[in-house]
Chains A and B, each alone.
Chain A
Amino acid sequence: MQESMDAIVMQDVVKSFRKRTIRGEYTTFKSELLRWLRGQRQPREGGLITALRGINLNIPKGKTVGIIGRNGSGKSTLLKLITGIYTPTSGHLQINGRISALLDLGAGFHPDFSGRENILINGIILGMSRAEVRARMDEIIAFSELGEFIDEPVRTYSSGMYMRLAFAVATHVDPDILIIDEILAVGDEHFSKKSLAKMMDFKKQGKTIVLVTHDLNTVDKWCDLAAWIDGGYVRRVGRSADVTAEYRQAIALAESQSVAFTPPALTEGGGALPQVPGSPSAPPSTAPVRLTGLSLVAPSGEVEPFSPETAVEAHVDFAADERCEDVEFEVSLQTADGKPLYETSTRLEEVPLPRQLPPEGRVRFVLERLGLLAGSYSLVVTARSTGGVSMERRAFQVSSPEAERGVFRPAHRWVVEPAPVAQQVVPALAGDTVPRAAGGGHP
């Protein structure tokens, strides 16, 4: 039962590569040939690069999952393992369903052949049968919007036309699981919208999509879940907004600590990014006052995404030791990439707190009106006391039908009325500018 719920199950998947140096270790041709013919892998520790150190990840059926992480963190290796191009060095990997991978657009395109001929060969390479490709040929040609060019050789195509044709074929393979590596931004504005619509179609049909991308906004917008690969492990899996928020913070933190961005697989410990305090992936806090939960509730019963005019309460659950002194709760409202928009604390506002906090309790931070524009935000609550700090983070979305620009929406209204009689235009300025404008070019 459990197995049929997940499209992809990965348990302790490890993948290492033999390091290939130009002047490899001393081996005779004979020994190399013998070893090779037997297909032995010599696990010489020094010559191994471990890209994935133990991936545990379940991808549920029908979900769109974004995989994020730094360059070289092992995302593409993970995709190649899922598609079966690579086999794991150790660990267990199970795929339930027909898979189609868009790792590279236009695999096997031949420049001298027409678009139509290339559709056939590319479709078959991607796993369709000849009959399937023939049946979908017109649909693919229509989607690619190539018109009469479909019968011209592919080498005469512009790069945009080439990509459109390739993408059209790739999306007409009818898989259960679709694997996409960073290729959604194909063609012009119009075509990328169409591509996204096609992706949405896949989603609606209940297909599983695994997407590797560096575009965090895409992940926020389209993915149900996100998995963050860092240092060869899954750093965090969860709601995409939460994961991307923590990822953004970790990057910002690494930049501020001037962490050297070395190739992760070559670095001791996998080159993981620094821990973001307060994130669920950080070790449990031992502070006297610990935050145990943070939720956003609209008293009106509205659920996320909130509208800008909603009243919202942040419910902060905490647990406190008997002796805790100098307690302070701090609230920070931030953009998705961790830029603070508003920060306040019980100390700044001189909020009276009981001398002795109850062992378990709740702080309610009541916002009469959210006042934020559409977008992704996160709320970070910190409890400080002598002896430690505890932090909780919650990402949330605001949506609005109006297309205002900026960050916040002050309470406002518009009034149009005739100018008051008392004020008159000062003539001196006007008199000065008019001759200049008239005499322009004729001194």
Chain B
Amino acid sequence: MIRLIRELYQYRGLLLSLVQRELKARYRGSILGFLWTFLNPALHMLVYVLLFTVVMRQNTPYYSFFMFVGLLPWIWFSSSISGGASAISDRRDLMTKVRFPAQVLPTTVVVTNLCNYVLSLPLMLALGILMYGQWPTWHALFFPVVVVIQLTFTLALTYILAAINVTFRDLQHIVGNLLTMWFFGTPVLYPLSNFQDETVRTAMTVLNPMTPLITSYQAIFYEHRLPDAGPLLGLGVFSVMLLWAASMIFEARREEFAESI
């Protein structure tokens, strides 16, 4: 694992340039350009807001703000996973021609999406302030902690998927479908407190690593309280272990990446 991270650090210049390029390339050629960073999640949200406030009434106050707080990190997570799964297998041109550590490629995807997330935060805050008068409180200081835990978890999962996808290409299609199911199993569109049963809430928190993350964001920005430390800490430990497992797989398989692609 140390080697994995050390190599990433050595190749930070490459990582930085690739992320920069991805960010620029995403909206290059479109008329609205960079605005799409905000428009995409906003339109995404609008669909759900219509669905849940008009069609299926929710009695959550400030519903659109509540949903936005959870939806943005979910978009970060899901686009990282779906894009990262094929990150190595799609870049045959690089993998077979140039020598560089393969983990740079999935990391680029995750970091690019993190940047998109961070860039869309002002929109989220503006929405809260302008529509509902929800100013961020000092609890926002804990926001970076949650982000780091999600980053570790997302990186680890993306590494594993990207490595497996080199030989087992079906995975990238499976991942897309699983993510849809995962999304509805995560309390993004509904508050976790909607479940009256304590055991259901515990099960959702323990079995779904995204639940503690999303509820933490909601705690910080929406409920203005400190996130629950227990599940978050547990997830932090789990993420580090997952990253360690991912690096073991990389270590064992790295030689075959260039040959298998």
B21 at the interface (CB under 8 A from A): yes
Among A36, A101, A113, A124, which residue has its beta carbon within 8 angstroms of that of B25? Answer: A113
Q: Is the CB of B100 within 8 A of A125?
A: yes
A18 cross-chain contacts in B, Cβ below 8 A? 259
Q: Is the CB of A126 within 8 A of B29?
A: no
Q: Is the CB of B258 within 8 A of A121?
A: no
Closest Cβ of chain A to B8, distance in Å, is 14
Q: Is the CB of B99 within 8 A of A84?
A: yes
Q: Is the CB of B94 within 8 A of A125?
A: yes
Identity of the chain B residue whose Cβ is nearest the Cβ of A83 in the assembled complex: B99
Among A37, A85, A113, which residue has its beta carbon within 8 angstroms of that of B97? Answer: A85
Q: Contacts A85-B258, A113-B21; is A124 near B99 (CB within 8 Å)?
A: no
Using an 8 Å CB-CB cutoff, how does the interface string of A352-382 with B read, 1 for contact, 0 for none? 0000000000000000000000000000000
Among B29, B96, B164, which residue has its beta carbon within 8 angstroms of that of A85? Answer: B96
Q: Is the CB of A39 within 8 A of B94?
A: no
Closest Cβ of chain B to A22, distance in Å, is 13
B93 at the interface (CB under 8 A from A): yes
Which of A102-110, A237-245, A336-344 sits within the interface? A102-110
A38 cross-chain contacts in B, Cβ below 8 A? 252
Q: Is the CB of A36 within 8 A of B97?
A: no
Q: Is the CB of A80 within 8 A of B252?
A: no
Give the A-B pair count, Cβ closer than 8 A: 71
Interface residues on A, range: 20 to 34
Interface residues on B, range: 20 to 34
A92 at the interface (CB under 8 A from B): no
Q: Is the CB of B97 within 8 A of A39?
A: no
**CA of A39 to CA of B251 in the docked complex: distance in angstroms?**
9
**CA of A116 to CA of B258 in the docked complex: distance in angstroms?**
29
Which of B12-20, B51-59, B69-77, B230-238 sits within the interface? B12-20
B28 at the interface (CB under 8 A from A): yes
20 A-B pairs with CB atoms under 8 Å apart are A36-B168, A39-B249, A39-B251, A39-B252, A39-B253, A80-B96, A80-B258, A85-B97, A85-B99, A85-B258, A86-B258, A104-B93, A104-B97, A108-B98, A113-B24, A120-B17, A125-B14, A125-B94, A125-B100, A129-B13
- Residues of B whose CB lies within 8 Å of any CB of A are 13-14, 16-18, 21, 24-25, 28-29, 93-100, 164, 167-168, 249, 251-253, 255-256, 258-259
- Residues of A whose CB lies within 8 Å of any CB of B are 17-18, 33, 36-39, 80, 83-87, 101, 103-104, 107-108, 110, 112-113, 117, 120-121, 124-126, 129-130
